[in-house]
Structure 1
Amino acid sequence: MTFIPQQHVTLHGFNNLTKSLSFNMYDICYTKTKSEREAYIEYIDDFYSAERLTSILTNVSDLIGAHVLNIAQQDYVPQGASVTMLVSEGPVVEVPEETYEETPGPLPEAVVMSLDKSHITVHTYPEYHPEEGISTFRADIDVSTCGEISPLKALHYLIHSFEPDIMVIDYRVRGFTRDINGHKLFIDHDITSIQNYIPEDIQVKYDMIDVNVYQEHTFHTKCKLREFDLDQYLFGDTKEQLDKKDFDDITALLKHEMDEIFYGKNMNPPPTKND
């Protein structure tokens, strides 16, 4: 399949292609007691409040050179938050020479891109299993742009902001634009994998699976942390306070939860000390 870089094509009017990035992340935690589960949910709700999420989305907007038109934000009861941001094309600080190069985007200190009319949204879903002691935090973020800029340039910063245990990332180019002769263009940049927009120092931390449908301009990547340190997943105790059986059972339970989320299906539960 041959892609024609947009900078080599003269367009008829505005670039009407819509590029959409969906970034779905999970944080997993073991919360042994009801009070620990409630404390975890309270912590997540406070740390990822609508106000903080608005700050993250504002940085995303700045990274791609957008101007914020409107912000709607809401903290929900009993838990969760949402932010919706409408943005328009902002001033170009510096036009990069290789706009379409498959490389990770910058962090907020280096703003070099412009953006056409778009929207950015985030929704959070803290929840817990009432019996098994597993609590999870999920955040769904969508960055949708029209015009020349790919929202994939915001991916590096989003990973940096959430440091997730699991990521599910989708990117799709929809619609079409026309060149000066009226021929339709259904994509205006080369792309082989979402992974090319993730820095190598982050890639090495994750196991990754790609499912790409090139003819439909649809790209999908799933990521799960490779290394497992139980202390990173205990909300109350530390691993030194656990006996070997509890250590093994909790580790198996957490890895089972992560595998189910990563592969998107229910699996046989791991054996426990009572089996």
Structure 2
Amino acid sequence: MIGKELKIKLQGFNNLTKSLSFNIYDICYTQTERQQREYIAYIDNAYNAERLTKILTHVANIIGANILNIAHQDYDPQGASVTMLISEEEIKSDTWPNTEEPGPLPDTVVAHLDKSHITVHTYPESHPDNGISTFRADIDVSTCGRISPLRALNYLIHSFESDIVIMDYRVRGFTRDTLGCKHYIDHKINSIQNYLARSTREMYQMIDVNVYQENIFHTKMVLKEFDLDNYLFNASSEELSQLERRKIEHRLKKEMMEIFYGQNLARL
């Protein structure tokens, strides 16, 4: 942990840019065309521009930012986008905001963000043949200065129905100290995983692909436990035959693994 005595004395404003980008996926089985339409309608309503604006407003509060401007849009036939321009507040706490520890969960939101932007775009879609429907939310939190967007991770993951989460964090640029020495990162980090609550880490299988020399950190997460009833939209597994349950479970797991590994798997 970086204590108060280890803070870097800067020549001027901290010019480091910290960017957190991640995709959140929700997977669902919709047996009929009607269920597909109902699922898309449900997602479109649950994550419309108004709801997304509230989520991003909480993100700004968590990280420590003034919101300068909000643009939001619902799309036809589906999807929504929200973009926020933000500016940094004065940090009054003596606690270093970049310590490698989890940020707050949704029920413990406080306040704080930085000079740049927060965006979210949603992409509901369905497979035309095999009944699989997916919902993807792309979220970007970019800050300039001392504050790290990683503090918002726990809140964001728990704000969506997250079966799969793929995250990238990068620190770009440099800032100078009072001696003129350039600093390319201002906080210790070994893994994005260290910013997640223990309860969150226990729920997911996770892998890291990090490039420490370039200050690039990449983490993938997929839920460990699989309960078919959690993936059936307006249906129950009790209504299905054993053969149908096996086929649907196979399709869902294949879809999740393809998204998790980023490649199409061979048909079995």
- Mark yes or no: TM-score above 0.5: yes
Q: Does the 8 Å CA contact 1:27/1:136 hold for their aligned counterparts?
A: yes
Deviation at residue 156 of structure 1 after TM alignment: 0.7
Distance change (3 Å), C-alpha of 1:232 and 1:162: same
Q: Does 1:139 align with 2:152?
A: no
Mapped to 2, the partners of 1:7 and 1:111 lie a distance apart of 25
Deviation at residue 196 of structure 1 after TM alignment: 0.2
Determine the structure 2 residue equivalent to 1:57. Answer: 56
User: Over residues 208-248 of structure 1, what are the superposed CA-to-partner deviations in whole Å (9 max), with x where a residue is unaligned?
Assistant: 01000000000000000000000000013200111100000
Q: Does the 8 Å CA contact 1:63/1:107 hold for their aligned counterparts?
A: no
1:86-235 to 2 correspondences below 5 Å: 86-92=85-91, 94-107=92-105, 109-111=108-110, 113=112, 115-235=113-233
TM-score (norm 1): 0.93
Deviation at residue 91 of structure 1 after TM alignment: 4.8
Q: Does the 8 Å CA contact 2:55/2:159 hold for their aligned counterparts?
A: yes
* Partner amino acid, structure 2, of 1:78: P
* Partner amino acid, structure 2, of 1:87: I
Q: Does the 8 Å CA contact 1:23/1:169 hold for their aligned counterparts?
A: yes
* Partner amino acid, structure 2, of 1:31: T
Q: Does 1:38 align with 2:37?
A: yes
Determine the structure 1 residue equivalent to 2:80. Answer: 81
Cα RMSD after superposing both structures: 1.7
Question: Which residues of structure 1 form unaligned runs of 5+?
Answer: 271-275
* Partner amino acid, structure 2, of 1:153: R
Deviation at residue 4 of structure 1 after TM alignment: 11
Distance change (3 Å), C-alpha of 1:186 and 1:5: farther
SS at match of 2:190: coil
Deviation at residue 96 of structure 1 after TM alignment: 4.5
Deviation at residue 23 of structure 1 after TM alignment: 1.9
Aligned residues: 266
User: Over residues 134-186 of structure 1, what are the superposed CA-to-partner deviations in whole Å (9 max), with x where a residue is unaligned?
Assistant: 00000000000000011000001001101300000100000011011111111
Distance change (3 Å), C-alpha of 1:133 and 1:110: closer
1:5-20 to 2 correspondences below 5 Å: 7-20=6-19
Question: Which residues of structure 2 form unaligned runs of 5+?
Answer: none
Mapped to 1, the partners of 2:6 and 2:114 lie a distance apart of 16
User: Over residues 229-272 of structure 1, what are the superposed CA-to-partner deviations in whole Å (9 max), with x where a residue is unaligned?
Assistant: 000000132001111000000000000000000000000134xx
